[in-house]
């Protein structure tokens, strides 16, 4: 009997001690944890790498031990500082490195940065395969991926000569996407950010191709233009 009472007393004391121990540092409630900001992290790495040489940046893009944000940042630095400078053999090497990384990665940040860079390096060769893929990223759940893809697309179409061939690629891709979601557009009067970005690109393509393209769009889309 005494042993039983002693055991109960010990358990009670231990429970009281455990309840009174403060939480370890960093064990905050979920509501108190800071939100991971992909955009800031990517921007921070890009700023850190901004002064690195072209050869070092290319080595980083090939480095499988770096995390996706570091690789995406290295690609961005290459795009902004070196993509317009490389010629002949250097250009071919840069393209091979980027295409290889694109095949290996599963990071949407790396994908978007590489697709944008390739379009800058050789617009004629890469516009048709890369721009539709970038447009698809406008559906991505991650707001940072969505924004980077949209900014990349604006840069690509803004740097061109409003070629009908390129506008057709944009129009056809977005038209297919909107046809698939037309039933959800029936009651939409105020497009959300994702839809607004697609509509902006669609307007650009129609401006280049001509208003006759409106006849190829579902009524639900025309009402939003």
CA dist., res. 122 & res. 92, Å (int): 10
Residues near 135 by beta carbon (within 8 Å), at least 6 away in sequence: 149, 153, 170, 173, 174, 177, 198, 201
Q: Is 19 helix (H, G, I), strand (E, B) or coil?
A: helix
SS (H, E, C) 111-127: HHHHHHHHHHHCHHHHH
C-alpha distances out from residue 74 to 19, 44, 81, Å: 48, 11, 11
* CB environment 161-177: b (16+ within 10 A), e (fewer): eeeeebbebbbebbbeb
Q: What is the pLDDT along the chain (225 residues), one digit of tens a residue?
A: 444 444 444 444 344 433 333 333 333 333 233 346 899 999 999 999 999 999 999 999 999 999 999 999 999 999 999 988 777 778 889 999 999 999 999 999 999 999 999 999 999 999 999 999 999 999 999 999 999 999 999 999 998 788 999 999 999 999 999 988 877 877 878 889 999 999 999 999 999 999 999 999 988 888 888
Q: Are 206 and 171 in contact (CB under 8 A)?
A: yes
Q: Residue 140: what pLDDT?
A: 95
Domain positions in the chain are: 39-127
Q: Residue 12: what pLDDT?
A: 40
C-alpha distances out from residue 30 to 26, 27, 34, Å: 11, 9, 9
């Amino acid at each position: 009997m005494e042993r039983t009472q002693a055991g109960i007393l010990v358990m009670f004391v231990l429970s009281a001690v455990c309840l009174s121990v403060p939480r370890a540092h960093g064990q905050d409630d979920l509501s108190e944890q800071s939100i991971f900001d992909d955009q800031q992290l990517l921007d921070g790495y890009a700023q850190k790498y901004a002064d690195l040489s072209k050869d070092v940046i290319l080595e980083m893009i090939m480095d499988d031990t770096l995390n996706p944000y570091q690789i995406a940042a290295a690609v961005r630095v290459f795009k902004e500082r070196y993509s317009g400078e490389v010629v002949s053999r250097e250009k071919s090497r840069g393209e091979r490195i980027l295409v290889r990384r694109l095949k290996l990665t599963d990071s949407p940040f790396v994908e978007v940065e590489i697709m944008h860079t390739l379009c800058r390096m050789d617009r004629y060769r890469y516009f048709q395969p890369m721009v539709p893929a970038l447009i698809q990223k406008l559906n991505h759940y991650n707001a940072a991926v969505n924004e980077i893809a949209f900014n990349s697309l604006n840069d690509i179409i803004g740097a061109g000569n409003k070629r009908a061939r390129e506008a057709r690629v944009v129009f056809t891709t977005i038209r297919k996407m909107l046809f698939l979601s037309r039933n959800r557009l029936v009651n939409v009067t105020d497009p959300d950010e994702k839809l607004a970005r697609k509509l902006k690109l669609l307007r650009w393509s129609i401006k280049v191709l001509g208003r006759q393209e409106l006849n190829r769009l579902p009524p639900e889309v025309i009402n939003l233009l």
